[in-house]
Amino acid sequence: MIQSDLDLFGPEPQHLASQTVLLPGFALSVLEPLLDALRPVLRAAPLRHMQTPGGLNMAVALTNCGALGWVSDAKGYRYTTSDPISGQAWPALPQVLLELAGRAALAAGFEGFVPDACLINQYLPGTRLSLHQDRNERDFEQPIVSISLGLPAVFLLGGLQRSDRTVRVPLSHGDVLVWGGEDRLRFHGVLPIKPGLHSRMGERRINLTLRKAG
């Protein structure tokens, strides 16, 4: 096969760990429908800076769509069925996002992934996310599908102990990262976003993480 034929199918999946797969550019084919679906979600449930249980303001601005949404406040981290700002249910998970997540999970080897929560994180230049584990979901057998949009980021993929070494994974606009199985509880974080201007998304990075939380 000649190179131009290969290009039609996009770059190959990259296995970063036994059950952690980077799908370069996987979201690009549905980018515009995805952005169209996100606009009303962000109007109904605006991005906000949540408080950590320790009383600090999180640097990342966050909101949710789906039956469940992740929140952090003085009472701790948890999933709720409604947005504490509006008192209304979180906006529904757009079909385009549900389908994209299912296809990405399958491409990474996870069958039958049906998320019920999507965290929407906005990073402005300088914003970072410190090393953490995602452990508020009920079933750690279910993977997480993470979609990166806008400014590039360096994702830190650690091990099962906070002190384990981390590897740096560059994430670009349209990339989808899927992890699950024995990698599900790996520590991870995001280095401070470098200043820049993305042609489609402006001066920000948006990360969507889809989970089966309930």
Q: Which residues bind ligand MD6 (CB under 6 A)?
A: 121, 129, 134, 144, 146, 155, 177, 179, 188, 190, 207, 209
Residue number, 10 or 152, with CB nearest to ligand MD6? 152
Q: How far apart are CA 73 and CA 159, in angstroms?
A: 27
Residue number, 96 or 208, with CB nearest to ligand MD6? 208
Residue number, 91 or 150, with CB nearest to ligand MD6? 150
Binding residues among 113-142 for Fe ion as defined by CB under 5 A:
134
The number of angstroms, rounded, from the C-alpha of 203 to the middle of its chain's C-alpha atoms is 18
Measured from the CB of residue 179, what is the shortest distance to ligand MD6 in angstroms? 6
Measured from the CB of residue 6, what is the shortest distance to ligand MD6 in angstroms? 27
Measured from the CB of residue 148, what is the shortest distance to ligand MD6 in angstroms? 6
Q: How far apart are CA 199 and CA 95, in angstroms?
A: 26
- Say if residues 53 and 74 touch (Cβ distance below 8 Å): yes
* Amino acid letter, 110: F
Cβ-closest position to Fe ion: 134
Q: How far apart are CA 168 and CA 153, in angstroms?
A: 10
Q: How far apart are CA 214 and CA 79, in angstroms?
A: 8
Q: Give residues with Cβ within 8 angstroms of 29, minimum separation 6.
A: none
Measured from the CB of residue 14, what is the shortest distance to ligand MD6 in angstroms? 15
| Mask for 76-115, x = binds Fe ion (CB under 5 A) | ----------------------------------------
- Say if residues 121 and 131 touch (Cβ distance below 8 Å): no
Q: Which residues would be at the binding site for Fe ion (CB under 5 A)?
A: 134
